[in-house]
Copies of this chain bind each other. A is one copy, B any other.
């Protein structure tokens, strides 16, 4: 037996929802689509999965082509497959969302794709079902970040607690009491205080912290006790 007979085959694409945080707002890295249909419309960065390529490899390749980055946090979001989602021909899209430190990719915008960081509050219309993808990614980010310490992926290696708080406030569009916030974050034991301070955003300066990678990996599934015990209903 060499093939399954009588079945239709489809194109499979990967699209990347790429988040960044500039210290004030959550942003998405979008491109201007380079080919028809919908050429020059805003779009997620994407590409077709090659014959011999896994989804993860395709997603990493596509992200790397745009940003030059490797080892970025990525996670499969959802498979979109409405028959008519791409008007040209049936194309399935496996979406991945990525969290990157915006400082690692800020200026060297790849001219080939006319990429830009665009605030989530001011999203333009996107092609096809990409707006839906973004919306789902944002929901998943909120959902997941409430339980797992993934937002650190959006920050530089060294960051301050006020920066971290601004990030959480941007993600959830709320404000937190700084005393409670810092106590809660420090109580996880995931942060290692540095000797130096960030002196840019205040006169007094705020101490830098680094993630404790070991505890990060160990605690990934039990961060802020947002899921307490498995028997926790409600």
Interface residues of A (CB under 8 A from B): 1-4, 7-12, 36-37, 48-55, 76, 78-79, 81-83, 88-92, 94, 142-143, 146-147, 149, 168, 171-172, 174, 176, 181, 184-185, 187-188, 223-227, 230-234
Contacts and interface: CB of A to CB of B under 8 A. Distances in A.
A136 to B, nearest CB: 11
A220 to B, nearest CB: 11
A184 to B, nearest CB: 6
Given A146-B231, A174-B227, 6 more contacts: A3-B89, A4-B48, A8-B48, A55-B79, A147-B227, A172-B230
A11 B9 CA distance: 5
A226 B224 contact: yes
A150 B181 CA distance: 31
Central interface residue in A8, A79, A88, by most chain B CB within 10 Å: A79
What 6 A-B pairs come out closest when comparing CB atoms? A9-B9, A79-B79, A172-B230, A8-B51, A146-B226, A55-B81
Nearest to A151: B233
21 contacts: A1-B37, A2-B88, A4-B88, A7-B11, A8-B48, A10-B10, A49-B81, A54-B81, A143-B223, A143-B227, A146-B223, A146-B225, A146-B230, A149-B233, A172-B226, A172-B227, A172-B230, A174-B231, A184-B232, A184-B234, A225-B226
Contacts of A11: 4, 7, 9-10
A2 B89 contact: yes
Contacts of A176: 231
A188 B234 contact: yes
A180 to B, nearest CB: 9
A212 to B, nearest CB: 14
Contact of A172 (B89, B185, B231): B231
Contact of A181 (B1, B184, B231): B231
Contacts of A187: 234
B54 A82 contact: yes
A2 to B, nearest CB: 7
Contacts of A10: 9-12, 49
Central interface residue in A9, A11, A52, A225, by most chain B CB within 10 Å: A9
